[in-house]
Amino acid sequence: MKDEVLFSLSYGMYAIGVKDEQKISACIVNTVFQVTNNPNRIAVSMSHDNYSYDCIMKTGMFTVSVLSEDTSGAVIGALGFSSGRNTDKLANVRHKVLAEGLPVITENCCCWLLCKVTDRLETPTHTVFIAEVTAGSDKSVGTPMTYDYYHKVIKGKAPKNAPTYQAKQPVGDGDSTESWICTVCGYVYNDPDVPFEDLPDDWVCPICGMPKSAFKRQ
Ligand code: FE
């Protein structure tokens, strides 16, 4: 079997909110699914390298914010491409802190869930947390973003606050356009109207915030 076959499995895009003794943080995961109802339990798979993993192991609690298709690459970049150990990942992301001290995203988020860990399934690299949903939104708003949508649409286009944003951008039409790829997050820049070389020196990757020097010609 080729590993690429596994790309056909479907996922979503979620922000996991956590707290430590001193601070709050969040990260992006693509694996959240409902395991049981009555009571409602969900499962989340998380890497042991993740700061959020350490926080969940300490507190036994986390939140799930279901990101909508309107979520900007900048939000995903802020939460997904740096570590909460050293940075305040939520500094530029609209959020609120629940009474339990855990953050949920309020920016283009469909709904949120507050979860209490009941079981863990260990693997050498990841832990699957099974958790009871103890509170959450009364309703869900907008269209949840799938992982496929993130790859095909978000990565192929600049977000609305990026200097290169256009309402209608071709996605990956490689005919006469050079593509440049971010070596950190994989974002592909291929705007036919603004060559990569013409972007201002202080332009940064709209997904992960890395400078132009992090890009290489594809
Ligand atoms: Fe990037």
Distance 190 CA to ligand 1 centre (A): 14
Tens of pLDDT, residues 8-42: 888 899 999 999 988 999 998 889 999 999 999 99
Q: Which chain residues have CB less than 5 Å from ligand 1, an ion?
A: 182, 184-185, 187, 205, 207-208, 210
Higher pLDDT, 109 or 187: 109
Say whether both 16 and 63 belong to one domain.
yes
What is the three-class DSSP state of 47?
strand
Q: For residue 159, is it within any domain?
A: no
Q: Is residue 186's pLDDT more than 70? A: yes
Neighbouring-strand partners of residue 45:
128
Say whether both 111 and 49 belong to one domain.
yes
The pLDDT > 90 percentage for the chain reads 55
Higher pLDDT, 56 or 157: 56
Give yes or no for a cis peptide into 206 (omega within 30° of 0).
no
Say whether both 34 and 88 belong to one domain.
yes
Distance 180 CA to ligand 1 centre (A): 11
What is the three-class DSSP state of 3?
helix
Distance 119 CA to ligand 1 centre (A): 35
Share the mean pLDDT of the chain. 86
Please state, in angstroms and rounded to a whole number, the distance separating the CA atoms of residues 115 and 35: 13
Q: Is residue 178's pLDDT more than 60? A: yes
Say whether both 88 and 24 belong to one domain.
yes
Q: CB–CB of 59/19 below 8 Å? A: yes
Measured CA to CA in angstroms, residue 143 lies from 5, 70, 108, 150 at distances of: 26, 8, 10, 13
Q: What is the pLDDT of residue 155?
A: 62
Distance 59 CA to ligand 1 centre (A): 31
CA 197 to chain centre: 28
Distance 150 CA to ligand 1 centre (A): 13
Distance 72 CA to ligand 1 centre (A): 13
Please state, in angstroms and rounded to a whole number, the distance separating the CA atoms of residues 106 and 102: 13
Please state, in angstroms and rounded to a whole number, the distance separating the CA atoms of residues 25 and 15: 10
Distance 111 CA to ligand 1 centre (A): 27
**How many Cβ atoms are within 10 Å of 179's Cβ, its own excluded?**
15
Distance 212 CA to ligand 1 centre (A): 9
Q: What is the pLDDT of residue 163?
A: 25
Q: For residue 134, is it within any domain?
A: yes
Higher pLDDT, 187 or 46: 46
Q: What is the pLDDT of residue 172?
A: 44
Higher pLDDT, 64 or 92: 64
Distance 210 CA to ligand 1 centre (A): 6
Q: For residue 145, is it within any domain?
A: yes
Q: For residue 173, is it within any domain?
A: no
Distance 216 CA to ligand 1 centre (A): 11
Distance 50 CA to ligand 1 centre (A): 19
Q: Is residue 75's pLDDT more than 50? A: yes
CA 121 to chain centre: 23
Largest Cα separation within the chain, whole Å, is: 57
Say whether both 19 and 126 belong to one domain.
yes
Say whether both 14 and 121 belong to one domain.
yes
Q: What are phi and psi of 10, to 5 degrees?
A: -100, 145
Q: Which domain does 40 fall in, by range?
A: 10-152
Distance 181 CA to ligand 1 centre (A): 8
Distance 58 CA to ligand 1 centre (A): 31
